[in-house]
Amino acid sequence: MNQMNNQKRHISVWTASAFVISSMIGTGVFTSLGFQLQDLQSIFPLIMLWVVGGIMALFGAMTYSEVAAALPRSGGEYHLLSRTVHPALGFAGGLVSATVGFSAPAVLAAMALGKYLSAVFPVLDSTLIALVTLIGFHLIHGCSLRVGTVIQNGTTGIKIGLILIFIIAGMLIPNPQSISIWPQPGDGALLFSSGFAVSLVWVSYAYTGWNSTAYIAGEVLDPKRNISRSLLLSTGFVMILYVLLNYVFLLTAPMADMVGEIEVGYISGVNIFGDVGAKIVGMGIAVLLISTVSSYVYIGPRIMQVMGEDYTLLKFLSIKNTQGIPVSAFGLQFAISMLFILSSSFEQVLMYTGISLILTTTATVSGIYFLRYREPHLPRPYKTWGYPVTPAIFILLNLWIIFYTFQAQPFESMIGVTIIGLSIMIYYLNKKFEKGTI
């Protein structure tokens, strides 16, 4: 039994941390600023977006660390919500995570990769690049655990190195923009404005992935220690990088040049390194995005696999090959990815992805109160710092974001809610199917 368990658990704390960092650092931080500048044009609120988003991610990671370490099974929101709140909500959270939670971000990262490479090499088609990237990583992770984890660790190391070089070079630019990070008159009102709240959707998306270890908890070595370590250390590290990176974007490029643009990293790179150097930066960011696509492609099918083990209608998703890779789930995730990439714009996919994930993570964090009440004697290797205040802050800030987002983006918001509603309907349909009433 111990030998079988060791074979199942093969992910070290470093590989788990690599998945967290790779999931977080990607599309969002290199694309969000251009959209945020449409509503906010003051430095202090723009920087505070990333500080507030980072604090929220840390509070969320603290809560997930307690619940996931106490209930160490793969599946993320599906498993955690099913155990703490209700199986119907867990089923909905699982479908959201498996579809818009991982398939859509993988597509967004691939689309951004295509945009950056086509900016460097205009003859290349950005959509074709995205398609080839998605096909390649579904084949790699769907065929070999060893090759997949080696690629993940290696590309994550390269990613961190490139970002640090970019930040240092930006700080040393001879002719920076004249900006100040200190509050200016009117900034206080902006911090509580609807524009700030809606911009936090973009930031929340950029921080998406802080909970990645929870999705592969069943494969992590020594989960009682390593789940919390990988979540908290990685989230804190990424928060520091994000604040510095966005400061460098604003320091090196005029705001007017970045408003509404996706390739803000490339625009900043032109001002730091010149046209030739910017092409190298664009290629570097493309490499960086490769690890993001890789992490999302790897993790998503694990949620589908666990759901397939528990529900008759989804049983086909539990099919694994000799290495324990959920091949049917990989096939379904690939089909969903193709649907996203061929049917929606970048901004649309990002917005309803962000809203759906905010709803599911908020519900999951609230589950800590249910678990503490219902199972007070459950062994908890890690306990949330600041409980019950820190989970409450996370929940309240997310509800504030959702309130203003529904006002500003009603169509995308309703898509997010509809996905969750349809998922709950499928859960009860499965219950009737198992009872033989349909």
C-alpha distance across the termini of the chain, in Å: 39
pLDDT value of residue 168:
93
- Domain assignment present for residue 168? The answer is yes
367-387 average pLDDT score: 91
369-393 average pLDDT score: 92
pLDDT value of residue 5:
45
- Domain assignment present for residue 153? The answer is yes
Residue 1 predicted with pLDDT over 50: no
Residues 277 and 197: beta-carbon distance below 8 Å: no
Q: Tell me the C-alpha distance between 14 and 339, whole Å.
A: 33
Give the range of the structural domain holding residue 379, as residue numbers without chain letter. Answer: 2-88+108-299+359-403
pLDDT value of residue 7:
44
- Domain assignment present for residue 342? The answer is no
With tokens 């998922």, the residue in question is 423
pLDDT value of residue 388:
94
Note the pLDDT tens digit of each residue in 173-200.
888 888 888 888 888 888 888 888 888 8
Predicted confidence band at 4 (pLDDT cuts at 50, 70, 90)? Answer: very low
pLDDT value of residue 352:
67
Residue 181 in 3-state DSSP? coil
Name the β-bridge partners of 220.
Answer: 11
- Domain assignment present for residue 97? The answer is no
Residues 11 and 221: beta-carbon distance below 8 Å: yes
- Domain assignment present for residue 346? The answer is no
DSSP string of 378-435?
S--SS--TTTTHHHHHHHHHHHHHHHHHHHH-HHHHHHHHHHHHHHHHHHHHHHHHHH
Predicted confidence band at 334 (pLDDT cuts at 50, 70, 90)? Answer: confident
List of residues 6+ apart from 293 with CB closer than 8 A: 26, 106, 109, 110, 113, 133, 134, 137
Residue 51 predicted with pLDDT over 90: yes
**Measured between alpha carbons, how far is residue 230 from residues 206, 216, 323 in Å?**
18, 12, 24
Query: Average pLDDT, whole number, for the chain?
Result: 82
Residue scoring higher pLDDT (296 or 153): 296
Count of domains for the chain: 1
Residues 92 and 307: beta-carbon distance below 8 Å: no
Q: How many Å separate Cα 334 from the centre of its chain?
A: 18
Residues 33 and 258: beta-carbon distance below 8 Å: yes
Residues 13 and 160: beta-carbon distance below 8 Å: no
286-296 average pLDDT score: 79
Residue 2 predicted with pLDDT over 50: no
Q: Tell me the C-alpha distance between 126 and 115, whole Å.
A: 5
Predicted confidence band at 9 (pLDDT cuts at 50, 70, 90)? Answer: low
314-340 average pLDDT score: 84
Residue 124 in 3-state DSSP? coil
* Tokens representing residue 204 in the block: 């929340």
User: What backbone torsions phi and psi does residue 178 show, to the nearest 5 degrees?
Assistant: -85, 90
Predicted confidence band at 366 (pLDDT cuts at 50, 70, 90)? Answer: very high
Residue 344 predicted with pLDDT over 70: no
User: What backbone torsions phi and psi does residue 57 show, to the nearest 5 degrees?
Assistant: -65, -40
- Domain assignment present for residue 323? The answer is no
- Domain assignment present for residue 266? The answer is yes
List of residues 6+ apart from 35 with CB closer than 8 A: 199, 202, 260, 347
- Domain assignment present for residue 334? The answer is no
Residue 346 predicted with pLDDT over 70: no
Note the pLDDT tens digit of each residue in 154-163.
766 777 888 8
Residue 121 predicted with pLDDT over 90: no
Q: What is the CATH number of the domain that holds 33?
A: 1.20.1740.10
Residue 113 predicted with pLDDT over 80: yes
Percent with pLDDT over 70 in the chain: 90
Q: Tell me the C-alpha distance between 50 and 226, whole Å.
A: 26
Note the pLDDT tens digit of each residue in 199-254.
887 788 788 778 777 667 667 777 777 777 788 888 888 999 999 999 999 999 99
For the entire predicted model, the pTM comes to: 0.78
